[in-house]
Amino acid sequence: MSAEKMAEAVNAYIDRLSNGTAEEIVDLYADGATVEDPIGAPIRNSREELIEFYSIITGLDSRKADLKWVKIAGDTAVFEFTLVTGTADMSFEITPIDIMIFDENGKVVSMRAVWEQSDLKQL
């Protein structure tokens, strides 16, 4: 897995957080991949659980993710992004740092998100 391919996958993830469906986001993951978001939360490891998780974001009235930076080494990408989401009467912003591990096919096998509740800001 090349650094370029991992960077492309990270960019696709950010784009799909802004514009994609939950299914399109989950398509970036390998079968049996795990998501721990945030670290310490129950681990999701089935396609159905991942779709349910990402449907929370994709079901909001508005959402926009912006990549701040990405570092890649070996099979791992670490990146920071800002996600602004909104409903009819409220908007929230969070800036997590995600750690993604990729398989040889460029699919995410593990994603862990570093953030805590106090990082979620109402706008």
The residue annotated as part of the active site, out of 27, 29, 31, 37, is 37
Q: How far apart are CA 2 and CA 36, in angstroms?
A: 24
The residue annotated as part of the active site, out of 13, 29, 54, 98, is 13
* Structure-block tokens of residue 14: 């950010």
Task: Please confirm, yes or no, whether 37 is among the known catalytic residues.
Answer: yes
Amino acid letter for position 89 = D
Task: Please confirm, yes or no, whether 61 is among the known catalytic residues.
Answer: no
Give Cβ neighbours of residue 62 (< 8 Å, ≥ 6 apart).
84, 85, 86, 91
Tally the C-alpha atoms within 13 A of residue 94's C-alpha that lie toward its C-beta.
19
Residues belonging to the active site: 13, 37
